Structure 1
Amino acid sequence: MKLFHISPETNLDLLVDNLWDGQQEGYRQQVVISIRRGRIAAVQPREMQGTGNGTQQMRLTGLTVLPGLIDAHVHLALDGIDFQASLDRWQDPLLRERVLARALRVSLEHGLVAIRDGSDREGLNLQAREWVRAGKYPGPRVVATGMAVHKKGKYGSFLGPGTTDPASIRELVTSLVNRNVDQVKVVVSGLVTFHRYGEVGSLEFDTAELVEAVKTAHAAGRPVMAHVNSAPGVDLALAAGVDSIEHGYFLTTAQLETMAARGTFWVPTVAAIANRLHTAKREVYPEREIDIIRRTQESQQEMVARAHRLGVKLVVGTDAGAPGVYHGESYLDELLYWYQAGIPAAAILRAATVTAAAALGLDGELGQIRPGYRPCLIAVRGNPLENLRVLAQPEMVFIDN
């Protein structure tokens, strides 16, 4: 993979054989992408190309260019291999820096130009964001949530300090805003369990508490992403007005219809469950739990397909850092789970670019190749509309971080 940094002074014409720009179903062929002063200035047929003084040209012969990919749900401070070892490393500044730097690097190597971090109790994702901004480490743009808002004594102690009442919720959200988080993460329910099909950890907040979190975040201009599973949990999250449903296992068709009507994003993270069985480093589960995991995966894939048909704003996110879900590497897994569910490749690519950019608050900057947008692009050998697997190893990644 070749990495190209675009600076604010860059004037460059990319001569592209095949382009998927995020706007059209199919390809545009023989196109020139003109980058001027670090932004996309024009996208036009090659015969219309004009050059200015000091403009360089780069021929991307035989490659397909598309918007850089976006992972809307990761945990940079976790490695997907050993949860407890990851937590232990948080106490060693050198080790945790290595972990974060590696996660950033491999994400970029797999074509990710932006990621949204779903929190850690040390707020290390904020540090990672600043490292990328300062150019200390190469990586995708980081949309950071700092620490998550969860209920003390419930699931999520590794994500945040825990709250007890509306006042402490308001205090935590305000402190996160003061630390300049990009979005706020709330933990509405526990995890999906593998002891009984459909079983999910208990709800963490009542309506008044969750409304307080969302209201405080929205008043400060911060969208809210909600970790939530189960129909009652999703009902609570939607009633409070969250902006995105994260995971959303065992939600209902009626809830999908509500989400479609409201424009609520859904990040279904199929890999977070499916990869527990389908990775080389998978854990060992009893046969009964294996069956429950498979049924849970299949149920989620069915609902993702239904959400697509209903017009829900689907967004690709992997939950990278969760067991068996690896930064960068597992992104293709998530895409393929969607494809196995019957979603067309073009729709999956839109969820990985256009809609993901909107969920991260980056629409108008990333997710499409059009004038005014940032030139964060990838080039792959092959046709991702026919074979998503060509996205596994981008030939080139262009970023302007």
Structure 2
Amino acid sequence: MKLVYINPETNLDLLAGSLWDGRGEDCRQQVVISIRQGRIAAVRPQETAVTEKNARQINLAGLTVLPGLIDAHVHLALDGIDFQASLARWQDPPAREAALARALRASLEHGLVAIRDGGDREGLNLQAREWVRTGKYPGPRVVATGMAVTKKGKYGSFLGPGTTDPASIRELIAGLVNRNVDQVKVVVSGLVTFRRYGEVGSLEFDAAELATAVKAAHAAGRPVMVHVNSAAGVDLALAAGVDSIEHGYFLTTAQLETMAARGTYWVPTVAAIANRLLTTKRDDYPEGERDIIRRTQESQQQMIARAYQLGVKLVVGTDAGAPGVYHGESYLDELLYWHRAGVPAVAILRAATVTAAAALGLGGELGQVKPGYRPCLIAVRGNPLEDLKVLAQPEMVFIDF
């Protein structure tokens, strides 16, 4: 993979053999993407393009250019390999910095130009955001939540300090806003368990508490993403007016219809469950639990297909850092789970680009190849509309800073 940096003075013409622009049903052939002063200035057929003396050219014949990919749910402070070792590194500044830098680099090398971090108790994702912004380490744009809003004594102690009442919820959110988080993450339910099919950890907040969190975040201009599983949890989240449902295992068709009507984003994170059976630790699960994992995965895939049919705003997110979900590397896994569920490749790519950009608050900047947008692009060998696997190893990644 070759990494090309774009700065505000860059004047560059990309001679693309093929282009998928983030919106179309098909690829356009023989296109010039003109970048002027660090922004996309024009997208034209090659036969109509005029060569400018001060513009460098890169010949991408035989390659397909498309918007850089976006992962809407990651945890940079976890590595997907060893949860306890990741937590231990948080208290070792050099080790945790090196691990974060590796996660950022791996994400970029796999074609991710933006990621949204779902939080960690130390707020390390805020550091990572600044490292990328200042150029200390290469990486995708980081949309940061800092720490998650959790209930003390419930699931998620590694994500946030825990709250006890509406006053502490408002206090935590005010502190996060003061640290300039991009979005607010709230943990509404526990995890999916593998003891019994459909079993989920208990709800953390009641309706009034969750409404307090959403109101405080929205008043500060911050969208709210919620970790939530179970139909009861999704009902609670939708009633509170959250902006995106993260995970959403065991939600219902009626809830999908509500989400479609309201424009609520859904980030289904199939890999967070399914990839547990792809690691060397798969044998740690008894056969009965492995069966529940497979059934849970299949149920989620069925609901993704239904969500697509209903017009829900689907967004690709992997939960990278969860067991068996690796930064950058596991992104293709998530795309393929959707495709095997019956979602067309072009719809998956939109969920990975233009819709994901909107969910991250980056609409108008990323997710499309059109004038005025940032030139955060990837070039792959082959047509991703025909074979998503060509995204596994981008030939080139263009990133601005």
TM-score w.r.t. structure 1 length? 0.99
User: 1:179-258 counterparts in 2 under 5 A?
Assistant: 179-258=179-258
**Distance in 1 between the 2:114 and 2:326 partners?**
16
What is the deviation of 1:5? 0.2
User: 1:198-347 counterparts in 2 under 5 A?
Assistant: 198-280=198-280, 282=282, 284-347=284-347
Which one-letter code corresponds to 2:85 in the other structure? A
* Aligned partner of residue 138 in structure 2, secondary structure: coil
Q: Deviations over 1:10-60 (max 9, x none)?
A: 000100110000110100001000000000000011111023341111110
Mapped contact 1:228–1:234 kept (Cα < 8 A): yes
**Distance in 1 between the 2:282 and 2:220 partners?**
41
What is the deviation of 1:209? 0.5
**Distance in 1 between the 2:43 and 2:284 partners?**
51
User: 1:168-187 counterparts in 2 under 5 A?
Assistant: 168-187=168-187
Mapped contact 1:148–1:187 kept (Cα < 8 A): yes
Residue 68 (1) aligns with residue 61 (2): no
Q: Deviations over 1:93-140 (max 9, x none)?
A: 000001100000000000000000000000000000000000000000
**Distance in 2 between the 1:241 and 1:171 partners?**
20
Residue 88 (1) aligns with residue 88 (2): yes
* Aligned partner of residue 298 in structure 1, secondary structure: helix
**Distance in 1 between the 2:10 and 2:184 partners?**
34
**Distance in 1 between the 2:214 and 2:352 partners?**
26
Mapped contact 1:132–1:138 kept (Cα < 8 A): yes
**Distance in 2 between the 1:51 and 1:255 partners?**
53
What is the deviation of 1:383? 1.1
Which one-letter code corresponds to 1:300 in the other structure? Q
**Distance in 2 between the 1:103 and 1:371 partners?**
31
User: 1:385-396 counterparts in 2 under 5 A?
Assistant: 385-396=385-396
What is the deviation of 1:278? 2.3
Q: Which runs of 5+ in 1 are unaligned?
A: none
| Equivalence for 1:152 | 152
**Distance in 1 between the 2:322 and 2:329 partners?**
13
Q: Deviations over 1:282-322 (max 9, x none)?
A: 45200110110000000000000000000000000000000
**Distance in 2 between the 1:195 and 1:268 partners?**
21
What is the deviation of 1:179? 0.1
**Distance in 1 between the 2:51 and 2:167 partners?**
59
Q: Which runs of 4+ in 1 moved over 4 A?
A: none
**Distance in 2 between the 1:77 and 1:326 partners?**
12
**Distance in 1 between the 2:66 and 2:149 partners?**
36
**Distance in 1 between the 2:232 and 2:100 partners?**
35
* Aligned partner of residue 284 in structure 2, secondary structure: coil
**Distance in 1 between the 2:31 and 2:387 partners?**
22
Residue 376 (1) aligns with residue 373 (2): no
What is the deviation of 1:281? 5.0
Q: Deviations over 1:62-107 (max 9, x none)?
A: 0000000000000000000000010000000000001100000000
Identity of aligned residues (%): 84
Q: 1:318 to 1:174 in 2, by over 3 A?
A: same
**Distance in 1 between the 2:386 and 2:23 partners?**
17
Mapped contact 1:214–1:242 kept (Cα < 8 A): yes
Mapped contact 1:226–1:237 kept (Cα < 8 A): yes
* Aligned partner of residue 372 in structure 1, secondary structure: coil
Which one-letter code corresponds to 1:220 in the other structure? A
**Distance in 2 between the 1:61 and 1:264 partners?**
39
Mapped contact 1:152–1:161 kept (Cα < 8 A): yes
**Distance in 2 between the 1:356 and 1:19 partners?**
19
Q: Which moved more, 1:45-54 or 1:379-388?
A: 45-54
What is the deviation of 1:279? 3.3
Which one-letter code corresponds to 2:392 in the other structure? A
**Distance in 2 between the 1:365 and 1:283 partners?**
44
Which one-letter code corresponds to 2:115 in the other structure? I
What is the deviation of 1:280? 4.5
**Distance in 2 between the 1:11 and 1:119 partners?**
37
**Distance in 1 between the 2:98 and 2:31 partners?**
40
Mapped contact 1:276–1:283 kept (Cα < 8 A): no
Aligned length: 401
| Equivalence for 1:21 | 21
TM-score w.r.t. structure 2 length? 0.99
| Equivalence for 1:79 | 79
**Distance in 1 between the 2:383 and 2:278 partners?**
25
Q: Which moved more, 1:270-279 or 1:222-231?
A: 270-279
* Aligned partner of residue 296 in structure 1, secondary structure: helix
Which one-letter code corresponds to 2:377 in the other structure? L
Q: Which moved more, 1:279-288 or 1:150-159?
A: 279-288
**Distance in 2 between the 1:89 and 1:19 partners?**
42
**Distance in 2 between the 1:297 and 1:361 partners?**
29
User: 1:127-166 counterparts in 2 under 5 A?
Assistant: 127-166=127-166
Q: Which runs of 5+ in 2 are unaligned?
A: none
* Aligned partner of residue 133 in structure 2, secondary structure: helix
| Equivalence for 1:114 | 114
How large is the RMSD of aligned CA atoms in angstroms? 0.7
| Equivalence for 1:104 | 104
